[in-house]
Structure 1
Amino acid sequence: MRRFLLGLLLLASLGLIWDALPFYATADSMFEAAPESATAADPNLATATFAGGCFWCMEGPFDELEGVRSTTSGYTGGTKVNPTYYEVSAGGTGHVEAVQVVYDSTKVSYETLLEAFWKNVDPVDDSGQFCDKGNQYEARIFVHDDQQQALAEQSKQVLSAEPKFQATPIVTAIEPAPTFYPAEDYHQDYYLKHPLRYKYYRTGCGRDRRLAEVWGSGG
């Protein structure tokens, strides 16, 4: 995402985006409560965590699924407690940008979430995702229990058997879910709060173009 800041600044100077970079004025300590606490009150609620590059682009595919209660952008997989966006994007904390999904398991299955995940990432890219490069943008599946582990491994195995992944194999890692730290409030629901800037970023990053190359125009 950082490479698009200059572009956003240019647009701001032209008056096309009056608040192009408001997250620079957002306090680093502004974190929302972790969504996992909501699952304790309802036995049907479960948590899934996925990393697919820029977390702005990963909330929407899950939000549109019936049975998904919430999506939260955040950071996971690193060593620093409560990392900030600036620290993670610089690549020095070991975290990746991720989305944590709270869902009603009686209305939407984990398999459906996995399908949404795969169709929104480039699973053969081992350098990041799309225009965002670095370990902090890697695609990963973070599993919360043995059942998720088994289903994730099965889905990866099925996809890996497809002819298009023979020459260039899937590199997406499946790992136990570590502590998840919600991102600053500005990043939550970014695609809904700032649709024009989101579209500019997503298009400039070539995300949809590459997804069509990997999965076909129909996703």
Structure 2
Amino acid sequence: MTQAKAIFAGGCFWCMVHPFDQQPGIHSVISGYTDGHVENPTYEEVCSGETGHTEAVEITYDPAIISYAELVEIYWLQTDPTDAFGQFQDRGSSYRPVIFYQNEEERLIAQTSKDKLQASGRFDRPIVTEIKPIAPFYEAEEYHQDFYKKDPSRYKASSQPRETFVKDAWHEK
């Protein structure tokens, strides 16, 4: 069995796990931090905005079952790609939307997808999600892992603004 990894930042990592976790070919979805300048940051350090990190998910998947391009498409459907300063109620640099790539092929897949989304006219504002080279990923504290399973009512409350946006923005136009 072949395994590959992908990293996406789309606001609160609690809300990014479930949509990927439910897909065939996904082996794990880990909440964590990436794209900063401090090794092994804590949640409190990342939230302070001083480490440069963003909350992200690291997805381990089988590319024979689900492709990187499919993961990118799932990613878009979880985010507001027009908001560079956070996602939904979560504001600040630690919640910025970023697609991370490992090689030129992934960069081209992500960029082509972004360009296609911009050209679609679905959004009135520019698509501002960044596409950046992969950076070291640090696993978040255990209490953040699989949060939607551990505390369903709190997860539901925190994911409501995202769910409302997704329903309104991503329905067929």
TM-score, normalised to structure 2's length? 0.96
Displacement of 1:212:
2.2
Displacement of 1:213:
2.7
Larger RCO (CA within 8 A; separation ≥ 6): 2
Matched, 1:147 2:102: no
Secondary structure at 1:164's aligned position in 2? coil
Show CA shifts across 1:125-175 (max 9, x none).
12110001101101100111121111111111111101233x301000000
What residue is the counterpart of 1:177 in the other structure?
134
Secondary structure at 2:122's aligned position in 1? helix
Q: Which amino acid aligns with 1:95?
A: H
Displacement of 1:200:
1.8
What residue is the counterpart of 1:75 in the other structure?
33
Matched, 1:202 2:155: no
Q: What is the alpha-carbon distance in structure 1 between the residues aligned to residue 74 and residue 127 of structure 2? A: 16
Show CA shifts across 1:57-87 (max 9, x none).
0011111110011010000000000000001
Secondary structure at 1:124's aligned position in 2? coil
**Percent identity over the alignment?**
46
Q: What is the alpha-carbon distance in structure 2 between the residues aligned to residue 164 and residue 116 of structure 1? A: 16
Q: Which runs of 5+ in 1 are unaligned?
A: 1-41
1:110 corresponds to which of 68, 87, 91: 68
Q: What is the alpha-carbon distance in structure 1 between the residues aligned to residue 40 and residue 131 of structure 2? A: 23
Q: What is the alpha-carbon distance in structure 1 between the residues aligned to residue 121 and residue 29 of structure 2? A: 33
Displacement of 1:56:
0.2
1:212 corresponds to which of 145, 157, 167: 167
Q: What is the alpha-carbon distance in structure 2 between the residues aligned to residue 174 and residue 126 of structure 1? A: 12
Secondary structure at 1:208's aligned position in 2? helix
Q: Which runs of 5+ in 2 are unaligned?
A: none
Q: Which amino acid aligns with 2:92?
A: G
Secondary structure at 2:167's aligned position in 1? helix
Larger Rg: 1
Q: What is the alpha-carbon distance in structure 2 between the residues aligned to residue 60 and residue 147 of structure 1? A: 26
Aligned length, in residue pairs = 173
Matched, 1:186 2:143: yes
2:114 corresponds to which of 125, 145, 156: 156
Q: What is the alpha-carbon distance in structure 2 between the residues aligned to residue 128 and residue 114 of structure 1? A: 18
RMSD of aligned alpha carbons: 1.4
- What is the correspondence of 1:13-162 to structure 2 with a 5 Å cutoff? 44-162=2-120
Q: What is the alpha-carbon distance in structure 1 between the residues aligned to residue 34 and residue 143 of structure 2? A: 18
Q: What is the alpha-carbon distance in structure 2 between the residues aligned to residue 201 and residue 78 of structure 1? A: 25
